[in-house]
Amino acid sequence: MTSLDDLPIRADLRGRTPYGAPQAHVRVALNVNENTHPVPESVAHDIVASLAAAILTINRYPDREFGELRDGLATYLGHGLTRDNVWAANGSNEVLQQILQAFGGPGRSVLGFPPTYSMHSIIASATGTQWVEGARDEGYEISPETAVREIDRTAPDVVFFCSPNNPTGTPVSLSTIEAAYDATDGIVVVDEAYAEFLPQGNATALTLLEGRDRLLVSRTMSKAFAFAGARVGYLAAAPVITDALRLVRLPYHLSALTQAAATAALRHSDQMLAMVDDIKAQRDRILTELPALGYAPLPSWSNFVLFGGVADPAATFEALLARGVLIRDVGIPNTLRVSAGTEAETTAFLEALAALGDPTSGPSTKLDR
């Protein structure tokens, strides 16, 4: 056998390509919405000590119910949640996959609202769940009326919202989530991977959980906690939801090392989240400075900015890469997306973009010497 097509792969997977952002060793990588700030040294020492303790019993299977981690996550989230309301897995992608394993699958459908996080449709495909696309309003918003209309039109078993939305950075209002929940008998999932970057005073979907057993709020430690390499995602929901997810999870799916590292990080949540304000400041700086360079950024409630006015996204992407700055072409015409990094990284991006010249005429290929 010489190619994937020679294998007896599932028919619905033929012709597909795996998910993956471009990877390159560059001085400034702002393409996958990571938190580019390092873990504080004092926190890192505690995490290492916790990992060392876990290693001493690594010959035994980990706590299958990861109770200490769920306690830590519940305390962090607040809103009266307990460990019974919390579930965790190896990144929020695995959480979403388990949701569709339990509530999706062959003969069932999930409604999403593109442009949105591309893994939503990929996970749907991987679980044999039909992916159904709903329409958005102007400015990538989703009004309550639009959400209800699309649910009535498609009759999905599961509804996915991403708030703030990736790649646009736009929020989904609580009134939209409430209306969607009331319009369906199925599961409603709110992917809040970027919730910690919301403007001050804005409530999250966690406030809607009480009395709504079919509402699930997915989170991650990858972004605000600078824990992307640890792969820890989680959700908050009614206890009956965690019972359902136990039916599809693999045995001992969270390693002892993952549990130890995440639990230690949560003990220092104040320190871990201290960098969020700086990231938000750099995001707002990008929003302020891009128009002066001739670009049109969308309002963002996340740790990244999608900006329009790019005459040739592919050429601009390559020109920035040649200057050591990696951002993301998400496939939306005349746009690119950049993560908010440290002050130095943000400066490097803005200076590199300014060096490209007038965005309406395409980037300059001349490199400064």
CATH of the domain at 119: 3.40.640.10
190 plus 287 within the same structural domain: no
Question: Domain ends where: 240, 267, 294?
Answer: 267
**Do residues 183 and 238 share a domain?**
yes
* C-alpha to C-alpha distance for 229 and 248, rounded to whole angstroms: 24
Q: Can you read off the two tokens belonging to residue 169?
A: 């950075």
| Together in a domain, 34 and 45 | no
Q: What is the pLDDT of residue 1?
A: 56
pLDDT attached to residue 89 = 98
Report the pLDDT value the prediction gives residue 22, as an integer from 0 to 100. Answer: 67
Q: Which of the listed residues 267, 290, 324 is the one where a domain comes to its end?
A: 267
pLDDT under 70: residue ranges of the chain? 1, 20-22, 364-369
User: Which of 267, 292, 307 corresponds to the end of one domain?
Assistant: 267
Does one domain contain both 67 and 31? no
Look up the CATH number of the domain holding residue 287.
Answer: 3.90.1150.10
Predicted TM-score (pTM) of the model is 0.93
- Evaluate whether residue 5 is within a structural domain: no
Same domain, 81 and 128: yes
Kindly report each contact of residues 13-16 with a partner whose C-beta sits within 8 Å and lies 24 or more positions away, as own/partner: 13/125, 16/125
In a domain, 3, yes or no: no
Give me the residue label for tokens 């319009």: 183
Give percent helix, percent strand, percent coil of the chain, each to the nearest 5.
45, 15, 45
3-state secondary structure of 165: coil
Residue 8 within a domain: no
Q: What's residue 145's pLDDT?
A: 98
**Geometric angle at alpha carbon 87, from 42 and 198, rounded to 5°:** 65
Task: Mark whether 46 and 35 lie in a shared domain.
Answer: no
136 located within any domain: yes
- pLDDT, residue 360, reads 75
Residue 303 lies in a domain: yes
Q: What residues are paired with 162 via a beta bridge?
A: 191
Number of domains comprising the chain: 2
Residues near 215 by beta carbon (within 8 Å), at least 6 away in sequence: 177, 181, 188, 190, 205, 208, 209, 237, 238
Structural domain span for residue 302 = 18-39+273-361
Same domain, 35 and 64: no
Q: Determine the number of helices (DSSP H) and then strands (DSSP E) in the chain.
A: 12, 12
**Residue pair 233/93 in contact by the 8 Å Cβ criterion:** yes
Does some domain include residue 13? no
Same domain? 166 vs 184: yes
Residue 7 lies in a domain: no
In a domain, 368, yes or no: no
> What pLDDT score was predicted for residue 150?
98
pLDDT, position 105: 97
Same domain, 149 and 102: yes
Position of tokens 């400066």? 347
Same domain, 277 and 262: no
pLDDT at residue 335 in the model? 97
Amino acid 364: pLDDT: 61
Query: Which tens digits make up the pLDDT trace of 304-339?
Result: 999 999 999 999 999 999 999 999 999 999 999 999
Tell me what pLDDT residue 16 has.
Answer: 82
Based on the fold, state whether residues 126 and 253 are members of the same structural domain. yes
Residue 212 sits in the same domain as residue 243? yes
- What local confidence, expressed as pLDDT, does residue 368 receive? 41
Residue 269 CB neighbours (<10 A): 16
The answer to whether 286 and 248 have CB atoms below 8 angstroms apart is no
